[in-house]
Structure 1
Amino acid sequence: MGEALQLYTYWRSSAAYRVRIGLNLKGLAHDLVPVHLVRDGGQQHAADYVALNPQHLVPTLRHGERVLTQSLAILEYLDEVFPQTPLLPTSAEARARVRALAQVVACDIHPLNNLRVMQYLERTVEADAARREEWTRHWMREGFAALETMLAGSPDTGRFCHGDTPGLADCCLVPQLYNAHRFGVDLAPYPTLQRIEQACLALPVFDRARPEQQPDAQ
């Protein structure tokens, strides 16, 4: 398929960060379309963007006339349409393991800490900044403890989350650790996560996807 790839992204969105890593790992040329999640009341709420993504979220991927949402669905779509440099291993058991690692981040940690949850806690629950930040750190620690056990206790863990080639789980882990650094989570209890993060960020494809490297970074 020769159609252009466009990623609607926000520099600090960890979900969009996942997809940027995946696109880079696969060597897929793509254009970035910034959607500022705070400016103008949140550009993700503009009518033209909501027509693409009814959830008012990033990322959204355009591939020709096709429009895809949800970061894990996008990454698996890319893996199926562009099978070079696969993000998932070949066996059913290994794919299930990698998906489980990815979903600890994408389904259990991140949804409790994203922007709309923080805004709800601030505006509706009236939680102050200190309480919101402790909420964020708590759910990251819970998820990281599980991930550390899952990774450190498995012979399938290599240099990266699964073996010695980065894939779907690494695409999810690295952005979540970026959030952890941002919110001051103590990562000392998670040496395996830190080791994998360092191995990933040493690769140019991960480095280019970092939030501070994005054209809309502030």
Structure 2
Amino acid sequence: MQRRLYTFFRSSTSFRLRIALAYKGLAYEPHYVSLPKMEHRAPEYCALNPQQLLPLLVDDADSYIQSMATIEYLDESYPEPSLIPKDIRSRAYVRAVSQIIGCEMHPLNNVRVLKHLKAQFGADETATKAWYAHWVTEGFRGLEDYLADTKLHGAFCFGDSVTMADICLVPQVFNAARFDCSVDDYPIIKGIFGRCMELDAFRNTQPNTQPDAF
């Protein structure tokens, strides 16, 4: 098989690519890279991805890093079903929703950031959870208000079509649940998440379905 995905079951960004590939019906050979075991720092993996992060997609011998950039690559290479709107304004909106999650929320709550808080500043479990809750609340509140204000959402973040925005949203909700952060205060987000999880592409790629979760 020419397509390989380097992934870890609990990695939110890996989850994004698993969803995108499943939604487009693109088969791939999974390669499991354990973050807790530091396998992303192993020389073999560093030779493939010098950034030493997940996910990594290899498609026809070319390597792609950064999940949102890779989703856009997939959408341009395999256009149906589309994940990025064709209209320029709609495309900007989907990217904005995606980046609220991918650029504002996820980096502050990434596991390596939480580990650094503990190692560098002596933050205990209570402090790191408070840090996580603060930023996830800020992010979800801002996103909920943006979705309500633009009125471009429907069943999903953009009308009734699955887009990159939904693919970013669902893993972030899963991540929040791991840290006991509910989305009950965000009815638009909660509704979109529920409808996404009715679809096989989301349901069958969630962390607890992955072979490396066991």
Instruction: Please confirm whether the aligned pair reaches a TM-score higher than 0.5, indicating the same fold.
Output: yes
* Match for residue 51 of structure 2 among 46, 55, 65: 55
Residue 215 of structure 1 deviates from its aligned partner by: 0.9
Partner SS for 1:124: helix
Percent of aligned pairs sharing the same letter = 43
Q: Show the counterpart of 1:81.
A: 77
* Match for residue 147 of structure 1 among 132, 138, 143: 143
1:26 aligns with 2:24: yes
Query: Could you tell me how far apart the structure 2 residues matched to 1:49 and 1:67 are?
Result: 12
RMSD (Å), alpha carbons: 1.0
Query: Could you tell me how far apart the structure 2 residues matched to 1:185 and 1:130 are?
Result: 14
The one-character-per-residue Cα deviations of 1:33-69 (angstroms, maximum 9, x if unpaired) are 1100012xx1000011111212211000001210110
Amino acid at match of 2:77: V
> Does the 8 Å CA contact 2:2/2:61 hold for their aligned counterparts?
no
Quick check: 164-173 or 184-193, which moved more? 184-193
TM-score, with length taken from structure 1: 0.96
Long gaps (5+) in structure 1: none
1:162 aligns with 2:158: yes
Equivalent residue pairs, number? 214
Q: Show the counterpart of 2:5.
A: 7
Partner SS for 2:4: strand
Amino acid at match of 2:34: H
1:116 aligns with 2:112: yes
Amino acid at match of 1:79: D
Q: Show the counterpart of 2:169.
A: 173
Long gaps (5+) in structure 2: none
TM-score, with length taken from structure 2: 0.97
Q: Show the counterpart of 1:92.
A: 88
Residue 154 of structure 1 deviates from its aligned partner by: 2.5
Query: Could you tell me how far apart the structure 2 residues matched to 1:215 and 1:31 are?
Result: 13
Query: Could you tell me how far apart the structure 2 residues matched to 1:21 and 1:205 are?
Result: 5
